[in-house]
């Protein structure tokens, strides 16, 4: 899916609200994207209505989960690999690409969308060579954006200037009465994911790094896994990712410029926020792993993580991890070359962090 995949799948009413409050550049490319979004929103609305009729009562009677596992941290830190490997555990449940793309009706509409997704989805993610598929684990911010009509992703789809769309003063949650509706939508989504089974939800979402207070209030027994990686790898990879995602989803003529200084600055802000808010998490429910350790000895790091979480490590999970790694043996990570100036910028902004986690400068 090469165009508008961040917004495709949203219902008609939510799409109209998005378009009303944002400016659009009416170019041939954006007009084609709008046509695609409008027709997909009609189908999403029809299926959403049908699902409410079919499953509304059952969903209302389902007890919301109390103990999701949230993978937090910055983008490009290895969270996708961690999410995938945890999803191999039969006791854990990760939202799939389909469930985040069609969040209003995935209980009902899967069989109808399956042939469509086969023709629309590429074999790999646009920013790297990680395999994707409608049943593969996926970041649930895409569901939150569609369900709540409130996500920082909106600033990427509708940029209004060339500045970095992620800023330290950007609200990651709506205010006042809108927050109640936002959080109710989130809880309902997780409840729907868990309907009919007792598996523990494992979510990967960097934006949740800024929502720890709300998440601990709504999910009292939630656990948080913070995954870290050397900033010299994170920053250029993030710049590459956002450039590609913006190119494929923007609906205005403006283009954000992604450069080292603002991206490194936001990384520092995210890490500082997690450090501040981790005290809101119940003792024993916050864990950290470094990608470098995880990559070097994946099974040992996961075993240690399971022990810390008090979660049994399944006997066959080691073999499943090996099978996954073997099937991706030819996978090559993106490699980026940083100038000495860029390294200095990153090191200056992240000195305390790099020293704390023994990352060389």
Q: State percent of the chain over pLDDT 90.
A: 80
Task: Tell me the per-residue pLDDT of 146-196, one tens digit each, with 9 for 90 and over.
Answer: 999 999 999 999 998 899 999 888 889 998 889 999 999 999 999 999 998
Task: Tell me the per-residue pLDDT of 286-329, one tens digit each, with 9 for 90 and over.
Answer: 999 999 999 999 999 999 999 999 999 998 999 999 898 888 76
The pLDDT of residue 119:
72
Helix, strand, or coil (residue 172): coil
Answer yes or no: are the C-beta atoms of 139 and 130 closer than 8 Å: no
The pLDDT of residue 196:
86
Q: State percent of the chain over pLDDT 70.
A: 94
User: Taking the model in full, what pTM does it have?
Assistant: 0.93
Spacing of C-alpha 302 from chain mean position: 21
Whole-number Å distance between alpha carbons of 115 and 361: 49
Answer yes or no: are the C-beta atoms of 9 and 145 closer than 8 Å: no
Place 61 in a pLDDT band, splitting at 50, 70 and 90.
very high
Fold entry, domain 12-356: Rossmann fold (3.40.50)
- Among residues 287, 173, 272, 300, the alpha carbon closest in space to that of 222 is found at 287
Task: List Cα–Cα distances, 360 to 232, 246, 349, 350, 354, in angstroms.
Answer: 10, 31, 14, 11, 7
Six-digit token string for 182: 């936002």
Residue with tokens 């086969």: 118
Q: Is residue 220 exposed (0-12), middle (13-18) or buried (19+ Cβ within 10 Å)?
A: exposed
pLDDT at 116 over 90: no
pLDDT at 126 over 80: no
- CB proximity list for 85: less than 8 A, separation 6 or greater: 298, 302, 321, 324
Whole-number Å distance between alpha carbons of 354 and 104: 41
Place 358 in a pLDDT band, splitting at 50, 70 and 90.
very high
> β-strand 286-290 against 200-204: which pairing, if any?
unpaired
Query: Long-range CB contacts (< 8 A, 24+ apart) of 84-88?
Result: 84/136, 84/137, 84/324, 85/298, 85/302, 85/321, 85/324, 86/202, 86/302, 87/137, 87/202, 88/317, 88/320, 88/321, 88/324
Answer yes or no: are the C-beta atoms of 120 and 128 closer than 8 Å: no
Place 130 in a pLDDT band, splitting at 50, 70 and 90.
low
- Among residues 180, 284, 300, 273, the alpha carbon closest in space to that of 224 is found at 284
Whole-number Å distance between alpha carbons of 6 and 209: 20
Answer yes or no: are the C-beta atoms of 138 and 102 closer than 8 Å: no
Helix, strand, or coil (residue 41): helix
Place 125 in a pLDDT band, splitting at 50, 70 and 90.
low
Task: Tell me the per-residue pLDDT of 278-293, one tens digit each, with 9 for 90 and over.
Answer: 999 999 999 999 999 9
- Among residues 325, 108, 62, 327, the alpha carbon closest in space to that of 201 is found at 62
Answer yes or no: are the C-beta atoms of 204 and 71 closer than 8 Å: yes
The pLDDT of residue 13:
96
Reported as type and span, the H/E element at residue 25 is none
Structural domain spans, the chain: 12-356
Radius of gyration for the chain, computed over Cα atoms and rounded to the nearest angstrom: 20
């Amino acid at each position: 899916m090469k165009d508008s995949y961040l917004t495709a799948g949203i219902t008609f009413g939510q799409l109209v609200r998005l378009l009303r409050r944002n400016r659009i550049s009416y170019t041939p490319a954006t007009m084609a994207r709008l046509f695609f979004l409008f027709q997909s929103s009609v189908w999403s609305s029809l299926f959403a209505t049908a699902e409410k009729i079919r499953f509304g009562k059952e969903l209302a009677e389902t007890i919301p989960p109390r103990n999701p596992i949230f993978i937090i941290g910055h983008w490009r830190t290895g969270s996708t690999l961690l999410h995938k490997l945890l999803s191999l555990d039969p006791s854990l449940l990760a939202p799939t690409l389909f469930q985040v793309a069609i969040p209003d009706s995935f209980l009902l509409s899967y069989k109808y969308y399956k042939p469509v997704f086969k023709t629309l989805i590429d074999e790999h993610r646009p920013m790297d060579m990680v395999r994707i598929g409608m049943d593969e684990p996926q970041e649930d911010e895409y569901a939150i954006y569609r369900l709540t009509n409130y996500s920082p992703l909106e600033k990427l789809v509708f940029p209004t200037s060339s500045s970095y769309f992620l800023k330290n003063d950007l609200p990651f949650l709506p205010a006042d009465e809108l927050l109640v509706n936002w959080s109710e939508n989130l809880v309902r989504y997780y409840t729907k994911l868990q309907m009919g089974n007792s598996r523990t939800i494992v979510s990967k979402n960097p934006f949740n790094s800024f929502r720890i207070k709300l998440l601990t209030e709504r999910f009292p027994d939630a656990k948080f896994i913070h995954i870290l990686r050397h900033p010299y790898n994170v920053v250029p990879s993030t710049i590459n990712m956002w450039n590609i995602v913006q190119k494929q989803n923007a609906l205005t003529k403006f283009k954000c410029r992604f450069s080292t200084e603002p991206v490194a600055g936001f990384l520092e802000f995210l890490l500082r926020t997690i450090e501040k808010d981790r005290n809101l998490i119940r003792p024993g429910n916050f864990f950290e792993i470094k990608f470098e350790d995880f990559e070097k000895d994946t099974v040992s790091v996961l075993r240690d993580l399971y022990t810390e979480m008090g979660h049994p490590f399944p006997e066959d999970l080691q073999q499943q991890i090996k099978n996954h790694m073997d099937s991706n043996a030819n996978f090559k990570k993106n490699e980026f070359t940083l100038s000495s100036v860029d390294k200095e910028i990153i090191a200056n902004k992240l000195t305390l962090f790099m020293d704390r986690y023994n990352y060389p400068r």
